[in-house]
Amino acid sequence: MLVLSIILSLGFVFLSIILIHYVSVSKQNETKDNNSSLSGSMGWPFIGETISFFKPHRSDSIGTFLQQRVSRYGKVFMSNLCGGKAIVSCDQELNMFILQNEGKLFTSDYPKAMHDILGEYSLLLATGEIHRKLKNVIISFINLTKSKPEFLLCAENLSISMLESWKNCREIEFHKEVKMFTMSVMVNQLLSIKPEDPARRYVLQDFLTYMKGFVSLPVPLPGTAYTNAIKARKRLSTRVMGMIKQREHEEQEMKKGLREEDFLDVIMSNEDLNYEEKVSIVLDILLGGFETSATLLSLVVYFLAKSPNDLQKLKEEHESIRAKKGDEELLNWEDYQKMEFTQRVMSEALRCGNIVKTVHRKTTHDIKFKAEYVIPKGWKVFPIFTAVHLDPSLHENPYEFNPMRWTDKGKMNKKTTAFGGGVRVCPGGELGKLQIAFFLHHLVLSYRWKIKSDEMPIAHPYVEFKRGMLLEIDPTT
């Protein structure tokens, strides 16, 4: 009993110390910083406010954490996130300043789990000259691919094939289905993996496991999301490396001409890249190309289900395009350029649905922004894109899905950062929109759909759907 009493007493003392420290830290940080006029709270010892900050919430809202902090402290406030002191910005001008000064005043600063899973040569994590080199290779892939007839043909044929497979279905898990669609397009163009190849499903499953590790704690124990993600990344790397080695062997055996050239051949011919960089580029393109595109396509279908007038306008645009083509004539680049309302719908879905909530940065210098804010060197910085996209001072009725607000695209682009900004702006946005537009063309002409009443997009921080975007579908003919 004596031992138990001592243990309980020590436990009580320990908890008391933590609570006293928490209260004192919170009180200290409730007062404004004398140098920068910034205020905020640091949360619990050690973990700070990290759990509350990353708590899942509707992706078409800023979430309770940001609502409360912005109401109490303003659009820019202090916090303790991911193991360090941080500034959280919901201010458009400061966000743009952060993005445009990457590599000068700010640097990438993602958590350890992301580094362990993605690897040092991931475009998301690389800095300086390595980042520039890797990004140039990916941009060359985008430019070579987006208007290439083979890519357009692949995207459209896979769209038609998937929609035909739904003919006898009354319900489909839309988000799961379109992940398979976008993955099929990307592995075909990048690695020449055909839709009927079983490798396609294995690659998709490994990527889904891979992504779950991004927001996990780096606990190296069997069965954890972190450990499973590292294993999945290793399997993906081994698969890609095996393809590279096999192709090198084919070149030596003079068998290369037996198949069509794809972008992996282009990457392999780049002598400035080592093996690890080549593998990382392939994985980056696959991840960005399938996940972002699938999520945007699901968001478009979600918002259109709640906006029948916009759905009708979209359908009329595609009926007009189809009326000028033969019965089974496929789409081309010129048809894509006519899809003006489709572009507005996709842009508005990006604004409302917020595929990327924030990015992780850290200051490399003491920074004074205007006369208001001083951000000390070494502090983490989180520019919140969602908050700017849903800011009522920037957008009239910000929570309303309204594609017509994109009539002035140049003006809207200054008030949104759906694909990031600065040197790290996502280079593949246009490629993703192209395959989505082709899929939408056949979807709106082939099916009507309803979503479940309680369906919603949820930021984890990557976007998933509460019901997996379970659709009730009905063929139009």
CA distances from residue 249 to 156, 242, 245, 246, 256 in whole angstroms, order as listed: 33, 11, 6, 5, 9
Contact 135, 427 (CB under 8 A): yes
CA distance 447 to 89: 42
CA distance 132 to 99: 16
In the block, tokens 């309770």 appear at: 64
Question: Is 154 assigned a ligand-binding role in the annotation?
Answer: no
Radius of gyration of the chain (CA): 24
Sign of CA dihedral 293, 298, 301, 303: negative
Strand partners, 42: none
Please state, as a whole number, how many other Cβ atoms lie within 10 Å of the Cβ of residue 404: 10
Sign of CA dihedral 342, 345, 347, 350: negative
Q: What's the token pair of residue 201? A: 């499903």
In the block, tokens 């954490």 appear at: 65
Q: Based on the number of CB atoms within 10 Å of its own CB, is 446 exposed (0-12), middle (13-18) or buried (19 or more)?
A: middle
Q: Give binding residues as ranges.
A: 426
Q: Give binding residues for heme as ranges.
A: 426
